[in-house]
Structure 1
């Protein structure tokens, strides 16, 4: 597959995982008593763990690919699935793609140039069982991890900010929100996560932290816009990486509403696992 096509898509998936924070989209209810910034952000982080489905729009800039935008629908429970349409705006035609994750397989398509390389078929399939790879290897391809991880859980990053403060109030998507901001270092975040009592949550958080470390970022400036239900309507993360600036904003839309993701029709799919299997059998013959 054309590397110029795959590279921005994979990086875009990583950007989504790195940039997302706590999420919510409910109507504002009666206001609760004023909470400290730390308590409010911690409550939003806790609320994020109850999310079963979500959709959001990501815009911004990643260190290697430049301007990126994406629309995502994700089902986390009871089974995992995702649909993402992404554009690396500075990559031209090669930077447009769609990714779907269904039943443990990732489908990549939506790019005319890629279709030309696959005899007119529009999708290429990466299947865990067929390829015989583990989850860590699949994560390197940039697809499965985004469906297996609730991006809202990374809101805990902001709880580790020593300078966390309430900036003011703003309307986001027609909803009144409170704007919080803080700067966090990777070292302080790691210490905070290592104290997490929930082993599963701790493991996910530490893996998310590693993604930033691999980018060469040592501190992050984070903004969170929270509604009256202590759910986040918008989240922004900024940092200086080894290969450039990271500046990504996530605007959350629907939460806990039905999400349906269908696999492409088999006639339009090139199965990478089957190709590898046929190639191996041919070599043995």
Structure 2
């Protein structure tokens, strides 16, 4: 494999890291227009019981919808590795987990001079495919899609710890928005901010915060971790200065969240993700690229390691 091809692998991995980082990282940016209390789809003043009732209803409706169209923006402070902005548009499903996203933005460009201006990413059957474009195809015998089969890689390694780690990564790649609603219900200071308009929709705005430890305890993905691993994750987060998560959700009169803003507060600033959802229940028909157009990443990494080319991708070991 050529050094140029190795660099293309590095670009793909950098892009993947950007998308993995989308999960659960954002801060409230407002964005909703406050409106008169009389226009609210729900009561202007809500008790804690009423708030919980509405969020639970939104959780049920979102879970049952199984899919939606999404527009997402993620911004990372300059002091954080991979800092910049990423824009994601496409469709995602969470039962089963599938996605078809187009990713672009300054953080993607920061992956290197060979990075494409935008990249399409598909996930189906727990396998991720990244379209690295015509340059990749020229280097790889016409194959422009990079395949990342996490489960197969974990099984091949024989490592239970790696299997858990990669399973968690899969969850991060395509988060069910109903899970954010479930997390919000765990916030000890969940409150109704008020009635607002978002994209022309009449909504009610809710907000809550969780410490990192509370988020781990509430997130079912953490069930994959042993008690020792969970403690290590929390300790590392505290050492890194991660202060906690802020979540804001705007729910329309049909009990669907039309906007979610989730943030991770760090010493360098706040990692921010704003997601807007529409067309709940839309068909999320996602098909994997043809095998003749794909190359397996983990097979490439083995070849690269044997050839001493891993340094070009930032990979070691």
| TMscore range, shorter length | 0.7 to 0.9
Distance of aligned partners of 1:47 and 1:183 in 2 relative to their CA distance in 1, 3 Å threshold: same
Matched, 1:87 2:87: no
Does the residue aligned with 2:181 lie in a helix, a strand or coil? Answer: helix
Is the alpha carbon distance of 1:80 and 1:240 closer, same or farther for their aligned partners in structure 2, counting shifts above 3 Å?
A: closer
Q: Give the deviation of 1:266 after TM superposition.
A: 2.7
Deviation at 1:182, TM superposition (A): 2.8
Partner of 1:71: 89
Gap change, CA 1:251 and 1:205, over 3 Å in 2: farther
Residue in structure 1 matched with residue 122 of structure 2 by the alignment? 100
Unmatched segments (≥5 aa) in structure 2: 1-5, 28-39, 306-317
Say if 2:55 is the partner of 1:41. Answer: yes
Residue in structure 2 matching 1:52, options 58, 63, 66: 66
What's the C-alpha RMSD, in Å, of the aligned pairs? 3.8
1:235 aligns with 2:269: no
Distance in 1, matches of 2:254 and 2:89, equals 24
Which SS does the other structure have where 2:255 is aligned?
Answer: coil
1:173 and 2:173 aligned: no
- By how many angstroms is 1:40 displaced? 2.5
Distance 1:236 1:130 in 2: 33
Asked whether the 8 Å contact 1:19–1:250 carries over to 2, the reply is: no
The structural deviation recorded for 1:122 is 1.0
- 1:169 and 1:266 map into 2 onto residues whose CA distance is 50
Cα-to-partner distance string for 1:29-76 (whole Å, 9 max, x where unaligned): x95667433443343234333232222111131343311111132223
Q: Is the 8 A contact 1:5 1:114 kept in 2?
A: no
Partner residue, 1:265:
290
Match of 1:136 among 155, 164, 170: 164
Greater mean deviation of Cα atoms: 208-217 or 59-68 = 208-217
> Hey, what does 2:146 align to over in structure 1?
124
Q: Secondary structure at the match of 1:15?
A: coil
**Greater Cα offset, 32-41 or 50-59:** 32-41
Partners of 1:184 and 1:128 in 2: CA distance = 30
Name the counterpart of 2:190.
164
TM-score, normalised with respect to structure 1: 0.73
The answer on whether the counterparts of 1:9 and 1:97 sit within 8 Å (CA) in structure 2 is: no
In the TM superposition, what is the alpha-carbon distance from 1:14 to its structure 2 partner? 2.9
**Corresponding residue SS for 2:22:** helix
Is the 8 Å Cα contact of residues 210 and 244 (structure 2) preserved in structure 1? yes
- CA–CA distance in 1 between the matches of 2:303 and 2:85? 39
8 Å Cα contact 1:11-1:65 kept in structure 2 = no
Secondary structure of the corresponding residue to residue 65 of structure 2: coil
Of residues 221-230 and 31-40 in structure 1, the stretch that sits farther from structure 2 once superposed is 31-40
Give the number of the structure whose alpha-carbon radius of gyration is greater: 2
CA contact (8 A) 1:55 1:74 kept: yes
Aligned match of 1:11:
18
Q: CA deviation at 1:15?
A: 0.9
Deviations 1:179-208 (A, max 9, x none): 1223332334456x3xxxxxxxx6336679
How much does 1:159 deviate?
A: 2.4
Distance change (3 Å), C-alpha of 1:151 and 1:207: farther
**Which moves more between the two structures, 55-64 or 11-20?**
11-20
